């Protein structure tokens, strides 16, 4: 492969190539073999189908929200219906899509392979976590079908406990159960990474994808139980009137905020860290270089996880926390920017003097870099006390977290799906169509959410379905962008489905990447490795790969 080549894709000769005879997809047949599987790869596929389903449900609500906001008047739906729309959008997207998105699909599929193991440590618990996900998902759908819930995804008291007649307890039960699904995924990852690494796979030889999922797993294991107990208390308060969050009985609504955000702020890092792992893999592969500052990137994941537990009160700056604690939490919030910036700078230095090619995963990764940087920087705005008081509860916040969650995590998720699609299915997606999708997504995203920064700065509050007429131009732009974004998300669904049957045969290592997962057949065998590999090189060692492939050619020839 010459240095001037515009692509690194290296596919087998399509006239003779075929999928391997045995692999995890055809190892056993029938629905039951999927529903009772212990194979981490099959569970990953089950998760992928499930979260895609919920993603489009959440997306439909996003579309309805944008449609209502097309005009200043409240003309499409009544205000309480609108409240149900954004509540369901938030609950579905956060708990049923973003939290499990990368860990439960790509993480489940790849972590054992990347470590050189045959499976996760607890395959049955892994399957259980998928079932719990569905039980929780069905409770959430039940809340939706029975008439919805309008607390917002935050279940804020006393609104959720005293003032609403909607299906708060049903939705909270759903989230409670999904929480356990997330705990089990995290627990499985931590034990697997500690105990199942192949001989020679030291901590600092692990791919950065494993490091970032490890950091996210720590957050899942330590944070999610606090959400669970908080939701139990909300349900008890609502059903029995115990008074723990009720000021008339001596309770403190602010206690709810502390407990809820103790999980829900770290949850933001649960959602973004695995995505950062994807970006590390993609950027290294498509610039043919070891990730610059590997150790710093690895530790910055852990640092984000650690700092993430000490910033929660920045969600309460206007809720009456003391000035001193606001000051401390403001400072700590800005500290989180440091490890995030370490990552961004290290990725930039990885690109420097690399042999960069622009395949679809790389396009999504570039989208991530820009959008996450904007999302992160506006987070610093919001962490500043004076600025926060002006901007909180406006569309500035909405734009900020969509830049991080959608511009960051969803871009990373799509980058990862495209990057590992040949490994998961054995077939390539259509390249030009997918590049079109990546660009469409990027344009649609910016058109949707950049106007919202301006709207928020001008003072348009979030969670209202009507607004002053002077905001209409920006809202129309945002709705138009959402339409483009919707097309950008529909495209992969269509062409990835198409590629399952008609895509080019990918071969073992279409990207010439270095990870262990690329050294085995695509799709992999159920047991991943015929014999457990012995790892004798660092992650992202392209010289090792060149040496290995050269060797292969001579023996085959």
Partner 1 sequence: MDNAIVATHPHTHETAVAAEHEHAALPQHRHHFETEGQQREAATFGMWLFLLTEIMFFGGLFFAYLLYRNWYHDAFVVASNQLSIPLGAANTAILISSGFFMALGVWAAEVKKKSLLVLFLVLTTLFGVAFLGVKADEYHEKWEKHHIPGAHFDVSEFINPHAYGLKEQPLAPDMAQKTQIFFFLYFAMTGMHAFHMIIGIVLLFWLTWRAHRGEFSAGYVAPIENFGLYWHFVDIVWLFLFPLLYLINRHPGT
Closest contact distance (angstroms) between CB of 12 and partner 1 is 28
The kind and range of the H/E element at 425 are helix 411-425
Q: Are 249 and 243 in contact (CB under 8 A)?
A: yes
Q: Does 122 bind partner 1 (CB under 8 A)?
A: yes
If one counts every other C-beta atom within 10 angstroms of the C-beta of residue 343, the result is 26
Alpha-carbon distance 289 to 435, whole Å?
23
| Of the candidate residues 102, 233, 282, 397, the single one contacting partner 1 (CB under 8 A) | 233
Q: Does 12 bind partner 1 (CB under 8 A)?
A: no
If one counts every other C-beta atom within 10 angstroms of the C-beta of residue 556, the result is 6
| Of the candidate residues 207, 223, 253, 492, the single one contacting partner 1 (CB under 8 A) | 223
Q: Does 258 bind partner 1 (CB under 8 A)?
A: yes
Buried-exposed string 496-505: b where 16+ CB fall within 10 A, e elsewhere: beebeeebbb
Q: Does 249 bind partner 1 (CB under 8 A)?
A: yes
Q: Does 557 bind partner 1 (CB under 8 A)?
A: no
Distance of CA 500 to the CA centre of its chain: 23
* Structure tokens given for 537: 């090189």
Interface with partner 1: number of residues (CB under 8 A): 51
Our CA dihedral for 480, 483, 485, 490, rounded to 10 degrees, sits at -170
Q: Does 477 bind partner 1 (CB under 8 A)?
A: no
Angstrom distances, CA of residue 489 to CA of 64, 259, 496: 16, 35, 11
C-beta of 184 vs 401, nearer to partner 1: 184
Which range binds partner 1 by CB under 8 A, 12-20, 241-249, 319-327, 499-507?
241-249
Alpha-carbon distance 175 to 78, whole Å?
26
Closest contact distance (angstroms) between CB of 490 and partner 1 is 38
Which range binds partner 1 by CB under 8 A, 17-25, 137-145, 193-201, 331-339?
193-201
C-beta of 197 vs 289, nearer to partner 1: 197
Q: Are 40 and 123 in contact (CB under 8 A)?
A: yes
Closest contact distance (angstroms) between CB of 193 and partner 1 is 10
The sign of the torsion formed by the CA atoms of 117, 120, 527, 26 equals negative
The sign of the torsion formed by the CA atoms of 362, 364, 367, 368 equals negative
C-beta of 185 vs 509, nearer to partner 1: 185
Closest contact distance (angstroms) between CB of 262 and partner 1 is 8
**How many CA atoms within 13 Å lie on the side-chain side of 103?**
37
Alpha helices (H) in 426-531, listed in sequence order: 431-458, 472-502
Alpha-carbon distance 391 to 132, whole Å?
37
| Of the candidate residues 75, 252, 543, 552, the single one contacting partner 1 (CB under 8 A) | 252
Which range binds partner 1 by CB under 8 A, 15-23, 119-127, 299-307, 501-509?
119-127
| Of the candidate residues 19, 118, 310, 356, the single one contacting partner 1 (CB under 8 A) | 118
Alpha-carbon distance 540 to 505, whole Å?
24
Q: Does 191 bind partner 1 (CB under 8 A)?
A: yes
Closest contact distance (angstroms) between CB of 491 and partner 1 is 37
Q: Does 491 bind partner 1 (CB under 8 A)?
A: no
C-beta of 149 vs 183, nearer to partner 1: 183
Which residues from 195-214 bind partner 1, rule CB under 8 A? 195-197, 199-204
* Structure tokens given for 292: 């610059």
Q: Does 183 bind partner 1 (CB under 8 A)?
A: yes
Closest contact distance (angstroms) between CB of 250 and partner 1 is 4
Cis peptide before 523 (omega within 30 of 0): yes
C-beta of 259 vs 399, nearer to partner 1: 259
Binding site for partner 1 (CB under 8 A): 117-119, 121-123, 125, 183, 187-188, 190-192, 194-197, 199-204, 221-226, 228-230, 233, 236, 240-244, 249-252, 255, 258-259, 262, 527, 531-532, 534
């Amino acid at each position: 492969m010459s240095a001037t080549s515009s692509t690194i894709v290296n596919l087998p000769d399509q006239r003779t190539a075929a999928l391997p005879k045995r692999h995890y997809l055809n190892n056993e047949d029938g629905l039951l073999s999927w529903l009772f599987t212990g194979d981490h790869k099959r569970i990953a596929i089950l998760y992928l189908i499930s979260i895609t389903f919920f993603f489009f449900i959440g997306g439909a609500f996003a579309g309805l929200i944008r449609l209502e906001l097309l005009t200043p008047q409240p003309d499409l739906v009544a205000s309480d219906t609108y409240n149900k729309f954004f509540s369901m959008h938030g609950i579905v997207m956060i708990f049923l899509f973003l939290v499990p998105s990368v860990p439960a699909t790509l993480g489940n599929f790849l972590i054992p392979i990347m470590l050189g193991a045959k499976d996760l440590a607890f395959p049955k618990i892994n399957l259980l976590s998928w079932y719990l996900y569905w039980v929780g998902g069905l409770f959430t759908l039940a809340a939706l079908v029975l008439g919805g819930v309008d607390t917002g995804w935050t279940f804020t008291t006393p609104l959720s406990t005293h003032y609403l007649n909607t299906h708060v307890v049903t939705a909270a039960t759903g989230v409670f159960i999904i929480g356990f699904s997330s705990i089990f995924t995290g627990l499985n990852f931590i034990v697997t990474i500690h105990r199942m690494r192949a001989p020679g796979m030291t901590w600092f030889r692990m791919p950065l994808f494993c490091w970032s999922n490890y950091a996210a797993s720590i957050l899942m294991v330590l944070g999610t139980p606090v959400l669970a107990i908080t939701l139990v208390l909300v349900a008890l308060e609502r059903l029995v009137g115990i008074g723990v969050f009720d000021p008339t009985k001596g309770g403190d609504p602010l206690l709810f905020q502390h407990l809820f955000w103790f999980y829900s702020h770290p949850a933001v890092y649960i959602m973004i860290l695995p995505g950062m792992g994807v970006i590390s893999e993609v950027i290294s592969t498509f610039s043919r270089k070891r990730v610059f500052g590997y150790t710093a990137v690895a530790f910055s994941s852990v640092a984000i996880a650690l700092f993430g537990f000490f910033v929660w009160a920045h969600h309460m700056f206007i809720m009456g926390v003391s000035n001193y604690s606001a000051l401390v939490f403001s400072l700590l919030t800005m500290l989180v920017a440091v490890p995030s910036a370490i990552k961004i700078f290290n990725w930039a230095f990885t690109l420097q003097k690399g042999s960069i090619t622009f395949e679809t995963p790389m396009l999504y990764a570039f989208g991530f870099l820009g959008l996450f940087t904007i999302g992160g920087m506006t987070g610093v705005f919001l962490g500043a006390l004076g600025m926060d008081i002006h901007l909180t509860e406006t569309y500035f916040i909405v734009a900020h977290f969509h830049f991080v969650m959608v511009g960051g995590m969803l871009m990373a998720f799509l980058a990862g799906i495209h990057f590992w699609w040949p490994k998961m299915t054995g077939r390539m997606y259509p390249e030009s169509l997918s590049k079109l999708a990546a660009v469409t997504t990027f344009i649609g995203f910016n058109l949707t959410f950049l106007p919202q920064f301006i709207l928020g700065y001008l003072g348009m509050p979030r969670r209202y379905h009507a607004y002053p007429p002077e905001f209409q131009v920006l809202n129309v732009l945002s709705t138009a962008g959402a339409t483009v974004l919707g097309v950008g998300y529909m495209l992969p669904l269509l062409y990835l489905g198409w590629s399952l049957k008609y895509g080019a045969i990918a071969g073992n290592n279409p990207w010439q990447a270095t990870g262990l997962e690329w050294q085995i057949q695509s799709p992999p065998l159920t047991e991943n490795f015929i014999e457990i590999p012995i790892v004798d090189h660092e992650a992202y060692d392209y010289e090792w790969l060149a040496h290995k492939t050269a060797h292969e050619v001579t023996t085959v020839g």
